[in-house]
Amino acid sequence: RNGLSENHMHLKASGYTEEINWRSFVKKDLSDIDRYEQFINSDGIFKEFRKTPEKKNELLQFVLKFKVIRIILACSLREDENETKEITIIFKKNIDRILKSQDVINTLSVVGLYKKMRNFEELENFLQDKKYPTIDLTSFATSESDFMEQIMRLIYEDNKESDYMCYLFNLYIAGMTVLKFQFVQDNLGMGFSRFKEKEDNKSHFVDNEDNDHAIIRSVFHKYYREKYIQKIELRVGPKDSISEYVTLIDNINRYNSGEFEKAKKEINGTGLKLNKIRYGLIIHFIKMLKRPNEDYVMDQYHKRMDLNRQSDFLLEAIRYLEKNAENKIVGIDTANFEKNNRPELYGPTYRKIRNCSPTESVIGATFHVGEEFSTLCNGLRAIDEVLQFLDYRANDRLGHALALGIDPDHYFKVKRDNVICSLGDYLDDLAWLYAILLEGGSNSMLLLYLRDEFEKYKFQLFESTLPNEDIPSFDDYLASIYLRGDCPDTHFNLKNESYDNLRVYEYRFNTSNKHHKQSFLNKKARMLFLRYSFDPNYRERAESSFQTKVTDKYKACVKLAQWLLKIKIRDMHVYIEANPTSNKKISIMTKYSEIPALAISGPALLGEEDSIQLDVSINTDDSSIFQTNLVNEYSLVAASLLKEGYSENDVYAYIEELAIASNVHSFIE
């Protein structure tokens, strides 16, 4: 009734990105061999093949043959011209030779077609731009459907050539199906890494400013057609100058206003009132994979340097916009790979941006977390590290946080009671379980079990990396973990400053954490933190593989920790950004009713009276890749719950709660 807010979407992965990318691919010249080779070599493209040199050439020839067939079909639509008639005649005479060739370009040259086709391409692209200008966003989809309709009409009307044209058209459809699936997210249950491979190719051929602008425009075109969208938080990557931020905001303002006016004209006379969408930018830092040929220590060091540089530019932009224009930057986020990108890495950056921004600018915090993890406990720990190390406050949010809604009993059953992770992660998990259970007043038997488990395995990590006198006790190890939200480089350069003097370092120390002072004053804990941050041998050993069978006590600890973490999040008034289709396609769920968000947001609906209810908003994540929109996400959740047998009244009341929550949770005033 009151409209919806989109609180978790990525600008370049929404709108009509897939359609724009496809049209850009179709318009690529036959001669652009380097670009096609880049496409074939990209991660996630033709993943089912082992890309030997021979296979790469075979795939390249496949793409080129598809382009040739496209040109021939286009020629057949303009056979009234001598040039196009000659192309189709020569091609028909040499069709077997061309389609069976292992060097299409050379074969086209030999039969005298290559130059003629290049000339036709140039003219055709000019005519296509004239017929389907970028100012008409729907043309990115309709140009392809119009083309196919014209070919089908030609086949229907020209009986003499129908077999030949049917053959070519079927080849085109088959090739188009294979190629389009390289851009669309289709990896049901294949996990986050496979999703990233597809996501990175969503706009592979979108390589000019006009198409970049078209993507931004298409986002507003799409949301206005849903009619109920009030606010959108647009996630964009960090920029390298104030001018880049200002230019982006100017473009977004212009396209938002333009699409609003168009949408108003479309609904004129329908009785529907359309409000102009309010938007805000979420600057999301990219969690990159570990750099090749670098050890963990150097990889983390270079990431800290990159974050420091990016945050400086962002702070400058926020201050400039506050003084010279309306500030549209409303929050910060991180996205992409969780492995080797623990929340601790981003602690100084989050504190820096939020504490050093102008007092007028309220910068909200959100963080992709608990989406990809080696063990359930590891995912839960990452969520708590966000709360501890990133100076989280009331009204901040967590992106996905799937680990909160996963049933531990089912999880361990699927994993056949195995824990497989790194040695360091297992010891860290034990220490974290102890800390959260102790804080929650857990019974001493479970706490004693966790201490014993730590002592059982700690020598696997420490014997080969530390002198005997430096091997830490459990308490020293736990204390060192509380320091991980600090900037390790500042720790390394400290002399003998007293704890009270740390305030001069501003955001570099996580002093707001209640355990920080005690840990900082523990010399063994500080030395262990420095080892963890700067000792390559220690890190190499910590990253070594570890496997064990879990006990009933371990399961009990994880279940209790999950419950206590939910209470902590509820009491801190931190919210969850749920993305139903994204979660369903990336994980192993078979129904929308199984998404973890329902387990943490609708306990009354699901009949779980003792559950902890957390506030959740429904969002799209990457709507272009997942082929969805915001209204569709609510509809799919509602339909799935109705199929499960819940009453209409309960389901619609729940959906209304989610809709209201989307507006309450938004960082946009």
User: In this structure, are residues 578 and 405 in contact, taking their beta carbons and an 8 Å threshold?
Assistant: no
The pLDDT confidence band at residue 258, using thresholds 50, 70 and 90, is very high
Q: Write down the pLDDT at residue 161.
A: 63
User: In this structure, are residues 280 and 330 in contact, taking their beta carbons and an 8 Å threshold?
Assistant: yes
Please report how many Cα atoms fall inside a 13 Å half-sphere around the Cα of residue 277, on the Cβ side.
33
3-state helix, strand, coil split of the chain in percent (to 5) is 60, 10, 30
Nearest to 397 by CA among 657, 668, 8, 660: 8
Question: Cα–Cα distance between 489 and 135 in angstroms, integer?
Answer: 50
Q: Write down the pLDDT at residue 171.
A: 95
Q: Write down the pLDDT at residue 113.
A: 94
Q: Write down the pLDDT at residue 591.
A: 84
Q: Which amino acid is at 555?
A: K
Question: Cα–Cα distance between 264 and 373 in angstroms, integer?
Answer: 45
User: What number of residues does the chain have?
Assistant: 669
Question: Cα–Cα distance between 563 and 381 in angstroms, integer?
Answer: 13
Sheet holding 616-618, edge to edge: 368-369, 397-400, 575-578, 616-618
Residue 187 pLDDT > 60, yes or no? no
Q: Report, as an integer, the average pLDDT of 181-205.
A: 67
- What is the token pair recorded at 537? 């041998």
Residue at token pair 């070594």: 544
Please report how many Cα atoms fall inside a 13 Å half-sphere around the Cα of residue 233, on the Cβ side.
33
Nearest to 331 by CA among 618, 622, 669: 669
Nearest to 83 by CA among 50, 107, 117: 117
Q: Write down the pLDDT at residue 340.
A: 87
Question: Cα–Cα distance between 67 and 25 in angstroms, integer?
Answer: 9
Question: Cα–Cα distance between 7 and 232 in angstroms, integer?
Answer: 6
Q: pLDDT tens for residues 481-532?
A: 999 999 999 999 887 778 988 888 889 999 999 999 999 999 999 999 999 9
DSSP code, position 336: E
- What is the token pair recorded at 208? 């000019």
pTM as predicted: 0.90
Residues 6+ apart with CB under 8 A from 495: none
Question: Cα–Cα distance between 381 and 433 in angstroms, integer?
Answer: 8
Residue of 29 and 195 predicted with greater confidence = 29
Residue 192 pLDDT > 80, yes or no? no
Kindly report the average pLDDT of the chain as a whole number.
90
DSSP strand pairing (545-549 vs 418-422): antiparallel
Given its phi and psi angles, is residue 642 left (phi above 0), alpha (psi -120 to 50 degrees) or beta?
Answer: alpha
Q: pLDDT tens for residues 534-584?
A: 999 999 999 999 999 999 999 999 999 999 999 999 999 999 999 998 888
- CA angle, 104 as apex, 101 and 105 as ends, to 5°? 150
Q: pLDDT tens for residues 118-166?
A: 988 888 887 777 777 766 777 777 888 889 999 998 888 865 567 888 9
Question: Cα–Cα distance between 474 and 169 in angstroms, integer?
Answer: 69
DSSP code, position 219: H
User: In this structure, are residues 155 and 82 in contact, taking their beta carbons and an 8 Å threshold?
Assistant: no
The full DSSP string for 150-215 is HHHHHHHH-GGGHHHHHHHHHHHHHHHHHHHTTTS---TT--HHHHHHHHTTTTTT--SHHHHHHH
Question: Cα–Cα distance between 41 and 182 in angstroms, integer?
Answer: 12
Sheet holding 364-365, edge to edge: 4-10, 229-236, 278-287, 329-336, 364-365
The pLDDT confidence band at residue 23, using thresholds 50, 70 and 90, is confident
Residues 6+ apart with CB under 8 A from 428: 381, 481
- CA angle, 383 as apex, 381 and 385 as ends, to 5°? 70
